[in-house]
Every structure is written in structure tokens, then in C-alpha cells.
Amino acid sequence: MIESFKVVLVGDSNVGKTSIIQRYTKDSFDSGIEPTVGAHFMTRIIDLEEHGGSGRMKLQIWDTAGQEKYKSVTQIYYRDAAAAICVYDVTSQLSLDAAERWLDDLRRFSPPHTIIALAANKCDLFSQQEVSLEMGQDFKDKHEVPILQQTSAKENTGIEELFVRVAREIDRNREIIKQGSGTTVAKRSQASLASAEQFKKPDRTGCKC
């Protein structure tokens, strides 16, 4: 039986979270994707033996809404996450600034074993770049994030590498993640969870991808 691990993508709207997931799981790109409402997930099985790991695993990759009004809802999807990828847009300094808040939320609401990575997306748009690789590296070091990967969903650059690196970290911490899976994080805010339940809709697959 192939073990399944939850990976959550977070970040502001329009940074390319849905496009990254679609490129990785379907090898497709659609520039006309509408913003995600709520959350939905796709899956892909990865063979880690091809990348220096052990066996295969299934990644259950969750796409979450980036709009502020859905933030309390988004937080409930951090539960039991083996890993989280915070995405920012290299053509938007504001998206990197917002990444600090997303990281704070991840560390507040996700399990303590959750592996965090950064994706510097839209790296193909050189002429519009506002966030250099050096700025991203400084941000990574400041917030002690183990993985930073430049990506372009449009050009299919760095997408495979991003998920391989995340999967290898999951593999290295597999037993810790399995032991912690399903437990409640003591520092989770009960008020925020109550708010999330209040606004949660029955249909949580609103992304029109």
C-alpha cells in the first residue's frame, strides 16, 4: 500500500498556486484559471527510488484560496499537513511581503512536524522581476525555511524539482510525520477554528480549473 501525505500550497491570489499544481499533476498550463474558492486537491504518485529515497509515496496536493476573506477557512486545511509550500510571485514584492504572514499562519495552525518550502514562481518573467533570487534567499534564511525553489508553471521550470525536494524531506521525516498525524496542535487557536467552521461551505471544491 502506498502511503499518502498531504501537501498544502499557500500564498496570495494570483501567485500561481493552481498553475503549479496543474503543471505537476497534469503537465498542463492554463493562463485563464480563475482564483480558487475554498480548496481542492489533486494527487500524484512519486517514486523516490529515482531520487535517492525509499519507495513510492502519494502526494495529496491541496490548492487553497489566497484571498483575505477566505483566510480563516484556508487555515483548517493546514491540519495534518506533512508539508506546506508558500508561493510568492517574483514580479510582486507585495507577494513576498505577504509570504511572511502566510508563514506565521502555517507555524501557528499546522502540526509542528510540517515541512515548509518556498516557491519563487513566475521566474520566466525576467523583465518584470521585483524579487531577486538573493532577496528570496535572504527571506528563506531569515525565516529558517529549508527549501527555496525557483519555479515557472508556464515554462515548466523547477516544478518537478520542487516536489521532489519536498517529498525527499517527507521521506526523511516519515516516522515523525506518521506519529504526529491526526493529533491536535496545542497552539492552534480555537477561536479561529470556530470561525473557519462558520464560513466553511458544503462544497469545498470551488476552483474552476
pTM beyond 0.85: the answer is no
pLDDT tens, position by position, 53-109: 778 999 999 998 755 544 555 677 788 899 999 999 999 999 999 999 999 999 999
- Each residue of 192-209: pLDDT tens digit? 333 334 333 344 333 333
The CATH number of the structural domain formed by 3-199 is: 3.40.50.300
**Domain coordinates of the chain in residue numbers?**
3-199
Q: Is 138 helix (H, G, I), strand (E, B) or coil?
A: helix
CA distances for 93 relative to 68, 154, 155, angstroms = 17, 20, 21
Residues 6+ apart with CB under 8 A from 88: 11, 12, 15, 95, 96, 98, 99, 118, 119, 120, 121, 131, 136
